[in-house]
Amino acid sequence: MSIEDLETIAQKMVAPGKGIIAIDESTTTIARRFKAVGIENTEENRRAYRELLLTTPGLSEHISGAILYDETIRQSTKDGVPFTELMKKNGIIPGIKVDKGPVALAGFPGDVITEGLDGLRERLQEYARLGAQFAKWRAVINISDDNPSSSAIEANAHALARYAALCQEAGIVPMVEPEVIMDGNHSIEVSYEVHEAVLRSLFNALYEQNVMLEGTILKASMVIAGTTAAEPSEASEVAEATVHVLKATVPASLPGIVFLSGGQKDEQATANLNEMNKLGPHPWPLSFSYGRAMQQAALDLWSKDLKGNVAEAQKIVAARAKENGLAALGQWKG
């Protein structure tokens, strides 16, 4: 794939009024979500649930791409159509989660580092053959009185940059995700400071690794007070702080930025995105790459009748996609 192709795919990922649906939960993570609503965690149930999401009528009106898990990219519909073929036919770009998850960073209690660089070149080549056109790597940045250390920020930024370079070598658009975790009692001001340090380190590392920003997407967390903070953040505060830190750290050559919901309630994530876009225009599109904030209500309904509630659950998915698509334009009414 040429450099121009990477740019084209990246731009399609953040097309006006469209975003990404994240259905890349690991088998362990989806087991927890299934257990919470009483669904048995079998391969067939996981496949059926992903099929429900990907076959939602009209999904591509507001969804440009979907991030898949290793198991999912190899699966097919009940009629035998590979998910990646179905997605491309319906105008949805297949993506793939490629990191191996965070582990403790030796020497720095409370900090973690994402693993998965070993063997990544070969895995990316296989995923490209399976139809993936973009990939995702998530770094985790914890906030506490002692975290994050500068070493943790630099180590994760370097890993993200190495991953991104390998993606582009394989003809795959890298989505770089440095998630600053919401858990904790920190203020929105502390969140801002950590986001600024993380994003500066990330883009320095991308530059050092010769990553072409025009063929890269940033998946960012929002600048928001911690989940147990004394003063919760209002949508207007989140929007102003997030836009400010992005303008201070992210080059204008980046095709776009998508946000993770990061544990926010469904409508909270939508409202925050909407407020950011009302502050525009910005140097780049600001859109979404939501997982739980796109799926949870549909999963709750589907769990009550796995065969009978598919169409109704899909209506919920379509409605959430539309709401977030409008928020990506600053046109959501709430």
- Residue 28, classified by CB atoms within 10 Å of its CB into exposed (0-12), middle (13-18) or buried (19+), is exposed
Out of 51, 177, 179, 323, the active site residue is 177
Distance CA 311, CA 81 (A): 19
Residue 288 tokens read as 């979404």
Distance CA 191, CA 234 (A): 14
Residue 43 tokens read as 């391969």
Which amino acid belongs to residue 245? Answer: V
Q: Considering just the CA atoms, what is the radius of gyration of the chain in Å?
A: 19
- Residue 125, classified by CB atoms within 10 Å of its CB into exposed (0-12), middle (13-18) or buried (19+), is middle
Cis check: omega of the bond before 109, within 30 degrees of 0:
no
Please give the sequence-ordered ranges of beta strands (E in DSSP) within the chain, or none if there are none: 19-23, 63-68, 93-97, 102-104, 112-114, 134-141, 173-180, 217-220, 257-259, 286-290
Distance CA 289, CA 300 (A): 20
- Residue 209, classified by CB atoms within 10 Å of its CB into exposed (0-12), middle (13-18) or buried (19+), is middle
Specify whether 304 is catalytic: no
Cβ-contact 127, 96 below 8 angstroms: yes
Specify whether 275 is catalytic: no
Out of 25, 136, 219, 275, the active site residue is 219
Paired with 286 in beta bridges are: 257
Cβ-contact 186, 226 below 8 angstroms: yes
Paired with 138 in beta bridges are: 177
What residues are labeled active site?
177, 219
